A and B are shown apart, each in its own frame.
Chain A
Amino acid sequence: MFRVQLRISIASALAYRANFVLEGLFSIAYSGLTLLPLIVVYGAHRSFNGWDFSSALVVMAYFTALQVILGGVVSPSMLDLVERVRNGSFDYVLLKPLDPQAMVSASRCRPWSIVDMLSPIAMAVYAFAHRGYPPSLGDLALGIALFMTGALTMYSLWIAGAALAFWVGRLDNLLYLLGAVFDTAKWPVAVFPGAWRIVFTFVIPVAMMTTFPAMALLGSLQPRQIVGSVAGSVAIFVASRLVWRAAIRSYTSASS
């Protein structure tokens, strides 16, 4: 059933091709643009609190990869959910004998955005070419595993944001706020002064999404941080699930 939902959303996305051509064209220019701040900052400073250009580029690669997932699946689905709640068609989702969270999470996706994954991979490859050695197999596996948990963290934050939006009401733009905060994930947390670093590690787990996975790939992540990172993302996932359930329970239809 979940697969059917996914297939329908892919089919409906394929129906609007103009959007993709536009997106494809821009995504190339776009990734170039996102790199500029990094180039400016590291153009003047070789290394910065233990992070040089190539290692910061790995963080940027993770950030871009997460953004592809965000823009390709998570964000469109969540915006679709907020809109459905607003106009009442969310009721039909709830009527289906399936977990609504699973249904909602894949309601919209842009299959073409998978192509966008090439640019973060290119960034990571370039970064390691610059460093002169490839990541060890273990680091690579850990880096990929932590990318998954990072994606899980991001997804959890977004689903919790969407749930809060219709729980509290009149907060349709909450997801935009999440997007703005997420933007800080393109920098390694170490480049921020003390207080911000704590906020971005523990309060808003930006570090868990990009900095820690990047450190894993670079082979500099402490075992303690690995455990914290995995446990943290599981905890956030569970918390978001609870928020979602509570929101559903208090949901009263907006339609007639």
Chain B
Amino acid sequence: MVRTLPMLLRVGMSETVAYRVEFLVWVLTATQPLVMMSLMTFIAREQSFDGHSAPDFVAYYLATLIVRHLTGSWVSWRLTQEIRMGTLAMRLLRPIHPFYAHLASQLAAIPLRAVIAVVLAAILLMTSGAATLPHDAVQLALAPMSIMLAWLISFSVYFTIGSLALFLTETVAIGTIYFSLFSLFSGYLMPLDMLPYPIETLAGWLPFKFMLAVPVTILTQDLSTTACVHLLGGQVVWVVITTALALWTWSHGIKRFEAVGN
């Protein structure tokens, strides 16, 4: 399995380059943090809003965009299309588990995603300055790891959603519902501490927070090393749960697959 990785990565890379326009559109789709940023900074321009100043909001939403761009993937969309059109049959002929193949293909897109993230990071540093960023070297070193774990959780979740196309005929609705849950509980829409009390607590128990809010917190707030390790530990737990869920959904769904399409 490891031997196939370089080849899969190369294929994935050229796929991303071939679909560069599509890639660009995916990038532009993540406009919501920018909209929310302009809204929140506008509200907080005179006095801080719920303990967040305008520069805080700028840093928060830029970090959100960085994490979102690095951790996003379009695997659910791809998978749904493959299932719907029957091209999945071709993939099943290969001796590689689709989960692994897609993982490699999405992994290959990361360098291109990183370009965008670097630009955003540069803007973040220029606009809010280093003051809003954490000072601890250990914490900064843990940030990439946290993003990586968030990427794994996101991938598994998207893979699960894509696999649902094996059971249901229309998964567009599920995608919409998923996204609205994600927006709210992951901190994509606004910092989680601004949500009303019961919802903030609920967010702590859901996986969404570990897909976005955790790496964003590590990127933008001063935390103790223990607190960081706690957050990363939570992420590891969710990686295990969501990967198991993705593989389970897939193995159950694939039995129902009959290669519809032409």
Contacts and interface: CB of A to CB of B under 8 A. Distances in A.
Q: Do A and B come from one complex?
A: yes
A40 B28 contact: no
A180 B49 contact: no
Contacts of B195: 36, 40
B257 interface: no
Contacts of A172: 22
A176 B189 CA distance: 18
Contacts, number: 100
A170 to B, nearest CB: 6
Contact of B21 (A75, A170, A193): A170
B38 A177 contact: no
A19 interface: yes
Interface stretch (A93-101, A183-191, A225-233): A183-191
Contact of B35 (A26, A39, A184): A184
Nearest to A183: B32
B29 A180 contact: yes
A248 to B, nearest CB: 21
Contacts of B170: 16, 19, 76
B84 A171 contact: no
A225 B203 CA distance: 42
Interface stretch (A41-49, A120-128, A149-157, A238-246): A41-49
Contacts of B248: none
B30 interface: yes
Contacts of B184: 33, 36-37
A90 to B, nearest CB: 13
B172 A79 contact: yes
Contacts of A40: 50, 190, 194-196
B50 A181 contact: no
B169 interface: yes
Interface string A13-50: 00010110011001000100110110111011100100
A111 interface: no
Contacts of B81: 83
A174 interface: yes
Interface residues of B, number: 42
Contacts of B261: 87
Given A36-B199, A39-B196, A180-B30, A18 B168 contact: yes
B35 to A, nearest CB: 5
A36 B198 CA distance: 12
A30 B177 contact: yes
Nearest to B175: A176
Contacts of B29: 173, 176-177, 179-180
Nearest to A45: B43
B43 A48 contact: yes
B19 A71 contact: no
A192 interface: yes
B193 to A, nearest CB: 11
B262 to A, nearest CB: 7
Interface in B9-56: 19, 21-22, 25-26, 28-32, 35, 38-39, 41-43, 49-50
B172 A181 contact: no
Contacts of A180: 28-32
A86 B77 CA distance: 14
A196 interface: yes
A192 B28 contact: no
A174 to B, nearest CB: 6
Given A40-B196, A87-B261, A187 B180 contact: no
Contacts of B25: 171, 173-174, 176-177
Contacts of B172: 75-76, 79
A17 to B, nearest CB: 11
Nearest to A34: B180
B181 interface: yes
A193 B169 contact: no
A41 B169 contact: no
Contact of B173 (A23, A37, A177, A193): A23
Given A87-B262, A177-B29, A184-B35, A193 B42 contact: yes
9 contacts: A16-B170, A19-B169, A36-B195, A44-B50, A76-B172, A168-B21, A170-B22, A171-B22, A173-B25
Given A16-B168, A179-B29, 12 more contacts: A19-B168, A19-B173, A23-B173, A76-B172, A87-B262, A170-B22, A173-B77, A176-B25, A180-B29, A180-B30, A191-B43, A193-B41
Counting from the closest, the 4 A-B pairs by CB-CB distance are: A180-B29, A193-B42, A26-B177, A184-B35
Interface of B: 19, 21-22, 25-26, 28-32, 35, 38-39, 41-43, 49-50, 74, 77, 81, 84-85, 168-170, 172-174, 176-177, 180-181, 184, 189-190, 194-196, 199, 261-262
